């Protein structure tokens, strides 16, 4: 045993210490000290993670598991506090600590004017702790702790401005919707305990892999693995905001913007993708579960993208975009291209984190306004924000050379070519890519191009005001007087002073912009002259212990040994086909860009006319297909009704309160009667004693003579 | 000579005890109540010695001596209390000396 001790436990613990210091003592600290503590500990976690990653290649065994202590033990079943490091968790570790640290820096500037500064950073560090526990856990139960913990941190941060009812409600919504998903996850854990007697990743996966008779590929009928896979997917749907549980994520935009960037774009919402990828051994033996994952992912990608087109709140657009991109990741996982899903997860963390931070910078610049219809022409005033956001937009739209291009292209190609995939997934994916490009450039044009349309601006053209969405338009006289709801602490730029954000906010933007450009270069596919290092790096994680599926891959053109995988694709479809597909998706992206330019820059009155001509469809999309209202009617209202009538009035008030109150009243009445025995008259006591003794004697005589 | 069965003694003992209990419950004069207690004690004593004679075991007889000693001590203390009560209250009716009752 010459396993090096990397002290993996330090990585999650460091942010926890920061959270504890800021949470317990932060009230007395100045803002500078709070920021220093938060940055110190999240930075230390990043440094520690870097150090671990640098030693990763020299580890003798992968996954490298470090056990800190035994947590619980019951018979043969035991769970320990242990952390595992393999290629997958290395990627997640770098994304979480790296992007997390950048967003911490950004938050120092963004949250400077807000109340509850220490509270914010305490929660943010707490989130880092749970997220790192989630990605480093070596068993499902510890992962579940992290999973629940990030949910808690998410709830706390969404409801950060808790004096606003909408924020508090959004926090509760996120928490409750996530509970539905967690319920599925939990049952999957129970099933695993029942069938594998363990929750360790290595034990579960090796048990599945070594018993092909007991756990065959369930292609014919659904079995245990399908059930576990589907239940895990329910959990992933909740956490990663997939249909039908995606409704919480758009509302989660009530939280501060850095939170949206960190939790609801870069890290937490990708936990579901991570979990599905982590459980790939289970999914690979449950083709119907894979199919469900792929279909849910594809539908979500498409569905959310359509909603994103008609949103006017800058953060809501990004929120639906996030849901849509997460759909891509699930589509990738569902067709079996796990490494492509993780690749997109990573690049998405860069560019979507950047998009949110830049949107935060825009909101900061215009004094808390989030409605894009009141922006415009900002590119001259906030050039750094504009530049970085443009890079991120190009990345998400799949402009060649940027990170999103490689990862999205990888997913689309695999969706077409992999055995679980098919042309349908590819077509929907390309259409979604077109819509993604369209709504993102629409956002860019509305925000940065043209004339400033804000109420505070000096030159606001009235005719451009209701540029979009007539039924949502409000007259600007009333708008001018109403303070922006987002801005609880007005800091002086409510009257026209649009200004660039401080360097502490711009620096993370620039770093993330660089990452958004180069982040994809680790996974340049063979067809474009690269050799997909990323895929090969993750290869050992995703191709181990699945001989049956590998065999299936081999039949369809892929070979079993991991080192030959990329070459193994060639026989089926050559580079030319792949290049053609790449060309088509790039064309889709450019078409989206062109259309957005046409509608929102060249001919700004066109969108209204289009919206009018397809009024019904437009209204449906702008109202998010009334999904929230539908859920309220189908689930929430009946639930409240049943709870009120049956559980509250019926069970609680009648049965439970009735039993307790009736018992108490009965006891009082009985004691009222019995009280009279206690007269204080000694002879009556003696009489009772005598009667009692007589009864005892009579009983004994009766027993003795029977 | 025919031996008297132990049950006779026990029945007599029970009758004595029952007389004592009855007297304790229905009498109002403290001295009568006191005598009823003595009657109960002696009823028990009788059964002790009856069993002792029946089983040829001295413990019962020894127990009776203890009971008699305790009864004598109790009589001394009890009568002293009764005299003290009579001096202060000028009555021996227990219904009029129930001050300890709530």
Question: Does the pLDDT value for residue A286 go beyond 90?
Answer: no
Q: Please report, for residues A322, A408, A525, B57, B71, the alpha-carbon distance to residue B9 in angstroms, rounded to integers and kept in the order given.
A: 101, 109, 114, 16, 21
Percent of chain A topping pLDDT 70: 88
What average pLDDT score do residues A593-605 get?
A: 82
- At A684 the three-state DSSP class reads helix
pLDDT at A569: 41
Burial of A493 (0-12, 13-18, 19+ CB in 10 A): middle
Which residue in B has a C-alpha nearest to residue A684's C-alpha?
B25
The answer to whether A692 faces chain B, any CB pair under 8 Å, is no
Angle at B93 between CA B92 and CA B96, to 5 degrees: 110
Residue-wise pLDDT tens digits, A414-443: 888 887 778 889 999 999 999 999 999 999
Cβ proximity of A146 and A135 under 8 Å: yes
Chain A hits for B98, CB-CB cut-off 8 Å, are 680-682
Mutation target among B11, B20, B22, B24 for the A interface, most CBs of A within 10 A: B24
* Measured distance CA(A452)–CA(A497) in Å, rounded: 12
Question: Does the pLDDT value for residue A465 go beyond 70?
Answer: no
Token pair recorded at residue B62: 């020894």
The answer to whether B98 faces chain A, any CB pair under 8 Å, is yes
* Measured distance CA(A439)–CA(A596) in Å, rounded: 7
Q: A215 falls in which pLDDT band (50, 70, 90)?
A: confident
Q: A184 falls in which pLDDT band (50, 70, 90)?
A: very high
The answer to whether B86 faces chain A, any CB pair under 8 Å, is no
Question: Does the pLDDT value for residue A324 go beyond 90?
Answer: yes
Q: A78 falls in which pLDDT band (50, 70, 90)?
A: confident
What average pLDDT score do residues A258-285 get?
A: 90
Cβ proximity of A374 and A453 under 8 Å: yes
Cβ-Cβ contacts under 8 Å for A145 (sequence gap 6 or more): A130, A133, A137
* Measured distance CA(A189)–CA(A144) in Å, rounded: 9
What average pLDDT score do residues A682-689 get?
A: 84
pLDDT at A482: 37
* Measured distance CA(A285)–CA(A214) in Å, rounded: 12
- At A238 the three-state DSSP class reads helix
The DSSP secondary structure of A252-296, one letter per residue, reads GGGS-HHHHHIIIIISGGGHHHHHHHHTHHHHHT-HHHHHHHHHH
**pTM tops 0.95, yes or no:** no
What average pLDDT score do residues A261-288 get?
A: 90
pLDDT at A612: 78
Question: Does the pLDDT value for residue A320 go beyond 70?
Answer: yes
pLDDT at B13: 94
pLDDT at A203: 87
pLDDT at B100: 66
Question: Does the pLDDT value for residue A1 go beyond 60?
Answer: no
**For A669-698, b where at least 16 C-beta lie within 10 A, e where not — what string?**
eeeeeeeeeeeeeebeeeeeebeeeeeeee
**Which of A680, A682, A687 faces B102 most closely, judged by CB atoms?**
A680
Burial of A602 (0-12, 13-18, 19+ CB in 10 A): exposed
Type and span of the H or E element at A153:
helix A140-158
Residue-wise pLDDT tens digits, A91-120: 999 999 999 999 999 999 888 888 888 999
Cβ proximity of A21 and A102 under 8 Å: no
- A296-300, A617-621, A684-688: range with lowest mean pLDDT: A617-621
Distance from CA of B29 to the nearest CA of A (A): 12
Residue-wise pLDDT tens digits, A325-365: 999 999 999 998 888 899 999 999 999 999 999 999 998 88
What average pLDDT score do residues A159-185 get?
A: 90
pLDDT at A346: 92
**Which of A680, A686, A687 faces B101 most closely, judged by CB atoms?**
A680
pLDDT at A337: 87
pLDDT at B14: 92
* Measured distance CA(A217)–CA(B85) in Å, rounded: 99
Q: B97 falls in which pLDDT band (50, 70, 90)?
A: confident
Report CB contact under 8 Å: B98, A680: yes
Which residue in A has a C-alpha nearest to residue B95's C-alpha?
A681
Class of domain B6-93: mainly alpha
pLDDT at A155: 92
Distance from CA of B101 to the nearest CA of A (A): 5
Distance from CA of A672 to the nearest CA of B (A): 17
Residue-wise pLDDT tens digits, A517-574: 888 888 888 777 777 778 888 888 887 544 444 444 444 443 333 333 443 344 445 6
Count how many pairs of residues, chain A against chain B, have C-beta atoms within 8 Å: 18
CB contact residues (below 8 A), chain B span 10-49, against chain A:
21, 24-25
For chain B, first and last CA: distance in Å?
Answer: 59
Type and span of the H or E element at A70:
strand A64-74
**Which of A681, A686, A687 faces B101 most closely, judged by CB atoms?**
A681
Which residue in B has a C-alpha nearest to residue A690's C-alpha?
B21
Q: A662 falls in which pLDDT band (50, 70, 90)?
A: very high
Question: Does the pLDDT value for residue A153 go beyond 80?
Answer: yes
When the pLDDT of each residue in chain A is averaged and rounded to a whole number, the result is: 83
What average pLDDT score do residues A636-660 get?
A: 88
CB contact residues (below 8 A), chain A span 668-687, against chain B:
679-683, 686-687
Stronger pLDDT, A345 or A369, i.e. the higher one: A345
Nearest partner of A538 among A405, A407, A343, judged by Cα: A343
pLDDT at A43: 93
Chain B hits for A680, CB-CB cut-off 8 Å, are 98, 100-102
pLDDT at B41: 93
The answer to whether B102 faces chain A, any CB pair under 8 Å, is yes
What average pLDDT score do residues A618-631 get?
A: 81
pLDDT at B96: 81
Question: Does the pLDDT value for residue B102 go beyond 80?
Answer: no
- The interface pTM score, or ipTM, of the predicted complex is 0.80
Q: Domain-by-domain residue ranges, chain B?
A: 6-93
Q: A41 falls in which pLDDT band (50, 70, 90)?
A: very high
pLDDT at A158: 92
Token pair recorded at residue A465: 């005001």
Question: Does the pLDDT value for residue A704 go beyond 60?
Answer: yes
pLDDT at A455: 62
What average pLDDT score do residues A185-210 get?
A: 89
């Amino acid at each position: 045993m010459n396993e090096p001790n990397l002290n993996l436990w330090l990585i999650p613990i460091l942010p926890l210490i920061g959270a504890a210091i800021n949470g317990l003592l932060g009230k007395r600290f100045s803002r500078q000290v709070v920021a220093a503590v938060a940055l110190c500990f999240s930075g230390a976690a990043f440094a520690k993670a870097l150090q671990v990653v640098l030693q990763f290649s020299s580890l003798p065994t992968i996954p490298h598991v470090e056990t800190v202590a035994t947590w619980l033990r019951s018979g043969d079943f035991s769970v320990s506090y242990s952390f595992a490091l393999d290629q997958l968790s290395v990627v997640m570790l770098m994304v979480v600590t790296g992007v997390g640290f950048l967003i911490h820096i950004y938050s120092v500037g963004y949250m400077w004017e807000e109340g509850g500064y220490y509270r914010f950073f305490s929660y943010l560090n707490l989130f880092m702790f749970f997220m790192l526990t989630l990605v480093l856990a070596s068993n499902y139960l510890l992962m579940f702790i992290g999973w629940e913990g990030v949910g808690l941190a998410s709830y706390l941060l969404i409801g950060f401005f808790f004096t606003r009812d909408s924020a508090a409600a959004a926090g509760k919504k996120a928490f409750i919707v996530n509970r539905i998903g967690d319920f599925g996850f939990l049952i999957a854990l129970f099933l695993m305990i029942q069938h594998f007697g363990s929750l360790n990743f290595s034990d579960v996966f090796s048990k599945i892999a070594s018993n092909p008779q007991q756990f065959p590929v369930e292609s014919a009928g659904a079995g245990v693995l399908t059930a576990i896979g589907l239940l895990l997917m329910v959990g992933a749907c909740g956490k990663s905001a997939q249909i039908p549980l995606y409704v919480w994520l758009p509302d989660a935009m009530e939280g501060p913007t850095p939170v949206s960037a960190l939790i609801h774009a870069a890290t937490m919402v990708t936990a579901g993708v991570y979990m599905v990828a982590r459980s790939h051994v289970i999914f690979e033996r449950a083709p119907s579960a894979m199919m469900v994952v792929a279909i849910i992912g594809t539908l979500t990608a498409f569905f959310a993208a359509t909603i994103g087109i008609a949103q006017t709140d800058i953060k809501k657009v990004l929120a639906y975009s996030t849901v849509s991109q997460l759909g891509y990741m699930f589509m990738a996982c569902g067709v079996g291209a796990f490494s492509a899903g993780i690749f997109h997860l990573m690049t998405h963390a860069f560019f979507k984190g950047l998009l949110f931070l830049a949107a935060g910078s825009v909101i900061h610049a215009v004094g808390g306004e989030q409605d894009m219809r009141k922006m415009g022409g900002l590119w001259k005033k906030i050039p750094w924000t504009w530049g970085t956001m443009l890079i991120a937009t190009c990345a998400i739209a799949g402009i060649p050379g940027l990170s999103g291009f490689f990862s999205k292209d990888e997913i689309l190609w695999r969706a077409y070519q992999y055995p679980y995939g098919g042309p349908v997934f590819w077509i929907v994916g390309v259409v979604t890519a077109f819509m993604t490009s369209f709504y993102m450039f629409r956002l860019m044009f509305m925000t940065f191009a043209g004339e400033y349309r804000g109420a505070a601006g000096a030159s606001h053209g009235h005719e451009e005001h209701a540029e979009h969405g007539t039924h949502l338009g409000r007259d600007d006289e009333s708008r001018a007087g109403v303070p922006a709801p987002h801005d609880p602490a007005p800091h002086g730029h409510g009257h026209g002073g649009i200004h660039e954000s401080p360097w502490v906010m711009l620096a993370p933007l620039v770093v993330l912009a660089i990452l958004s450009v180069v982040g994809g270069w680790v996974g340049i596919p063979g067809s474009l002259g690269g050799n997909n290092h990323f895929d090969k790096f993750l290869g050992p994680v995703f191709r181990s212990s699945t001989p049956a599926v590998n065999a299936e891959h081999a039949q369809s053109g892929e070979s079993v040994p991991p080192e030959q995988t990329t070459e193994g694709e060639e026989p089926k479809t050559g580079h030319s086909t792949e290049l053609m597909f790449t060309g088509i998706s790039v064309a889709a992206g450019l078409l989206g860009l062109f259309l957005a330019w046409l509608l929102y820059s060249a001919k700004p009155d066109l969108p209204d006319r289009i919206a009018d001509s397809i009024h019904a469809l437009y209204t449906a999309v702008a109202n998010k297909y009334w999904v929230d209202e539908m859920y309220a009617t189908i689930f929430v209202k009946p639930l409240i009704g049943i709870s009120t009538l049956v559980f509250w009035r019926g069970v609680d008030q009648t049965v439970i309160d009735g039993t307790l109150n009736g018992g108490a009243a009965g006891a009082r009445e009985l004691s009222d009667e019995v009280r009279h025995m206690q007269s204080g008259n000694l002879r009556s006591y003696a009489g009772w004693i005598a009667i009692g003794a007589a009864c005892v004697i009579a009983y004994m005589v009766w027993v003795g003579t029977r | 000579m025919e031996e008297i069965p132990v049950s006779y003694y026990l029945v007599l003992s029970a009758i004595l005890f029952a007389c004592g209990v009855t007297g304790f419950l229905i009498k109002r004069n403290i001295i009568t109540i006191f005598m009823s207690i003595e009657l109960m004690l002696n009823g028990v004593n009788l059964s002790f010695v009856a069993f002792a004679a029946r089983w040829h075991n001295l413990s019962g007889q020894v127990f009776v001596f203890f009971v008699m000693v305790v009864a004598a001590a109790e009589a001394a203390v009890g009568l002293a209390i009764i005299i003290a009560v009579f001096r202060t209250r000028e009555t021996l009716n227990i219904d009029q000396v129930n001050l300890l009752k709530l």
